[in-house]
Amino acid sequence: MSLTAITYLVVGLTFALYIGIAIWARAGSTSEFYVAGGGVHPVLNGMATGADWMSAASFISMAGLIAGMGYGGGLFLMGWTGGYVLLAMLLAPYLRKFGKFTVPQFVGDRFYSKGASSVAVICLLAASLTYIIGQMTGVGVAFSRFLGVSNTAGILIGMTIVFAYAVFGGMKGITYTQVAQYCVLILAYTVPAIFISLQLTGNPLPQLGLGSDMVGTSVPLLEKLNQVVTELGFGEYTTSVPGSKLNMFVYTVSLMIGTAGLPHVIIRFFTVPKVKDARSSAGWALVFIAILYTTAPAVAAMARLNIHATVNEAVLGGGDLFDNENILQYENRPAWMERWEVTGLLQFEDKNNDGRMQYYNDATTDPEVLAKAEAAGWEGSELDVNRDIIVLANPEIAMLPNWVIALVAAGGLAAALSTAAGLLLAISSAISHDLLKDMWMPDLSEKGELLAGKIAMACSLIVAAYLGLNPPGFAAGTVAIAFGLAASSIFPVLMMGIFNKRMNKEGAIAGMLAGLGVTMLYVFAHKGLFFIPGTEFLGLFGGEPNFFFGISPNAFGAIGAIINFAVAYGVSKVTPAPPEHIQELVESVRVPRGSKAVSGGH
């Protein structure tokens, strides 16, 4: 069977499975639509959280970014897992005890103010929408390759499917389909990694293979990779940092606390039966996430090595990397390159017209590399590989069997769809439940609420798809901004709501506005007003990118969070303490006894 036929078959089968489960568990009342009646087992909930969590950014984009960044890419790995420790200890059990559906409801009740809850809705929408833009970028990559169409067409088709999918089920459909999706995506991620690890190091476990010697030699894989990339003018793989150590530090903080503040993840912990389960659920979620996250660095390093090996025989065969005889001729390029050229995400430009594909760092400042390149008649790097394609192309690069390539396509689609659907749900519940029902139209019927939720989903998808066509960065980078927004607004307010009895509504509102505002200002200055290309206003701040101590906009959420805490604390000191019953509420949230099933009614 041809590759295309197998891909359609595998993707078709997995979709049939998800839709089958969604029909079987179709949502009825609004309570079921949002949180599946509060009766999901911690292990299953952990798996579903894993699928929800591991989006297009984790599955499709992250390893590609690590492949390019090397050691510094560890910030994604630590950031997106370390946040679960915070979530498990600082937020999940208490929010579960509180027993409400959504983050804005908690904020509204704890800070006894509809104003605070509206601001929380705004923060939630800002983070979730940005997140979906990143997802749409990933969806575009997956669908364009899968259907053999341009990236733009891929995004539009993907958008339609995500919408149909999210509207169809509710959380209940989504919880059980997500368990299935987790299984598909983790197989799709680990199977090719195992194959590749075996090929390169003879060790079937990628986590160990990355630390092993190259097959048939006594040279460790990472040492070999270091040697190849530095010789070609790139930074050393195992030590290169993004910008500075400070930037890496702050970036990691931002992703960690963003993880703990992202509404579509928090909402998961409302669905477990008990407070006790909320704690272990976070642990189970992290177990399932860690399987992918510890495999990713191996995928990254091995893919990097394989790409160089594909275009340059000297990489694995030994010999001179700058000898043109070792460089791949364009007409002999492997089929996977042709397939990705169709999407426009892999490009070859024959700058020195010799028909061969020279790939090196032409922006290097190393005079030795530049001299060697010039001597070899190289006139610039000729291959441009979009980092977002690395994972999907990985099995093709390593020449694995067709069914593995098909499986990865199915996994990529599962990852993109599940997270997009989970996010849409968070957005729709924020608008229909927290804004419309609780604030503007209290007598809205259940039916009206569901309809409003669906309209909200459609609108946010259209916005996300439009911006996904002109993405502010790679999928994982855009998603990192979403984390920054959550980190600077939602995490601090939740934390202070639980750990600071004296925090009042004035402090909370001022803190959220300050944190979110500052972070948005910094991000928009770099990436354009609401990410619309061409509206950057870096000039206002002197025109220097990363002007705040060299911290990149993707990492700025941590600074926003500090500002949020500081402003909230300052304002609460000079305004009246919260009323007695609120302080008692905080006391009661802190102890597990007396937890009830979640309720959303008033």
Partner 1 sequence: MEMDRSAQAYWKAVLKLVGQILIVWFLVSYGAGILFADALNNIHLGGYPLGFWFAQQGSIYVFVALIFIYAKLMGKIDEKFDVHEQ
Q: Which range, of 246-254, 303-311, 424-432, 533-541, touches partner 1 by CB under 8 A?
A: 246-254
Query: What distances in angstroms separate CA 362 from CA 209, 368, 524, 601, one per listed residue?
Result: 31, 12, 30, 62
Q: For 360-474, where are the E strands, in sequence order?
A: 383-385
| Contact set for partner 1, span 249-288 (CB under 8 A) | 249, 252, 274-276, 279-280, 282-283, 286-287
Taking CB under 8 A as the criterion, the residue among 47, 77, 383, 503 binding partner 1 is 77
Residue 176 to residue 157: CA distance in whole angstroms: 24
The contact mask relative to partner 1 for 551-590 (x = CB under 8 A, - = no) is: ------------------------------------x--x
- How many residues touch partner 1 (CB under 8 A)? 51
Is 491 an interacting residue with respect to partner 1 (CB under 8 A)? no
Least Å distance between CB 237 and partner 1? 9
Is 73 an interacting residue with respect to partner 1 (CB under 8 A)? yes
Q: Which CB atom, from 214 or from 457, has the smaller least distance to partner 1? A: 214
Q: Which CB atom, from 215 or from 532, has the smaller least distance to partner 1? A: 215
Name the amino acid, one letter, at 40.
V
Is 238 an interacting residue with respect to partner 1 (CB under 8 A)? yes
Least Å distance between CB 84 and partner 1? 6
Residue 423 to residue 421: CA distance in whole angstroms: 5
Nearest to 286 by CA among 38, 41, 40, 53: 53
Nearest to 200 by CA among 183, 187, 182, 213: 213
- Residue 418 is inside which H or E element, if any? helix 402-429
- Residue 393 is inside which H or E element, if any? helix 390-397
Q: Which CB atom, from 57 or from 126, has the smaller least distance to partner 1? A: 57
Least Å distance between CB 194 and partner 1? 16
| CB 228 within 8 Å of CB 308 | yes
| CB 304 within 8 Å of CB 128 | no
Strand partners, 213: 220
Is 297 an interacting residue with respect to partner 1 (CB under 8 A)? yes
Q: Which CB atom, from 282 or from 485, has the smaller least distance to partner 1? A: 282
Least Å distance between CB 301 and partner 1? 9
Is 592 an interacting residue with respect to partner 1 (CB under 8 A)? yes
Residue 595 to residue 466: CA distance in whole angstroms: 43
Residue 451 to residue 491: CA distance in whole angstroms: 30
Nearest to 178 by CA among 46, 56, 41, 291: 46
Is 230 an interacting residue with respect to partner 1 (CB under 8 A)? no
Taking CB under 8 A as the criterion, the residue among 1, 23, 208, 335 binding partner 1 is 208
Q: Which residues contact 34 (CB under 8 A, 6 or more apart)?
A: 101, 102, 170, 171, 267, 425, 429, 433, 600
Name the amino acid, one letter, at 424.
L
What is the sign, positive or negative, of the torsion defined by CA atoms of 468, 470, 476, 477? Answer: negative
Q: Which CB atom, from 252 or from 432, has the smaller least distance to partner 1? A: 252
Least Å distance between CB 471 and partner 1? 26
Q: Which range, of 19-27, 83-91, 507-515, 535-543, touches partner 1 by CB under 8 A?
A: 83-91
Is 220 an interacting residue with respect to partner 1 (CB under 8 A)? yes
- Residue 348 is inside which H or E element, if any? strand 346-348
Is 496 an interacting residue with respect to partner 1 (CB under 8 A)? no
Least Å distance between CB 100 and partner 1? 18
Residues that bind partner 1 (CB under 8 A): 66, 71, 73-75, 77-78, 81-82, 84-85, 88-90, 93, 207-208, 210-213, 220-223, 238-239, 245, 248-249, 252, 274-276, 279-280, 282-283, 286-287, 290, 293-294, 297, 587, 590-595
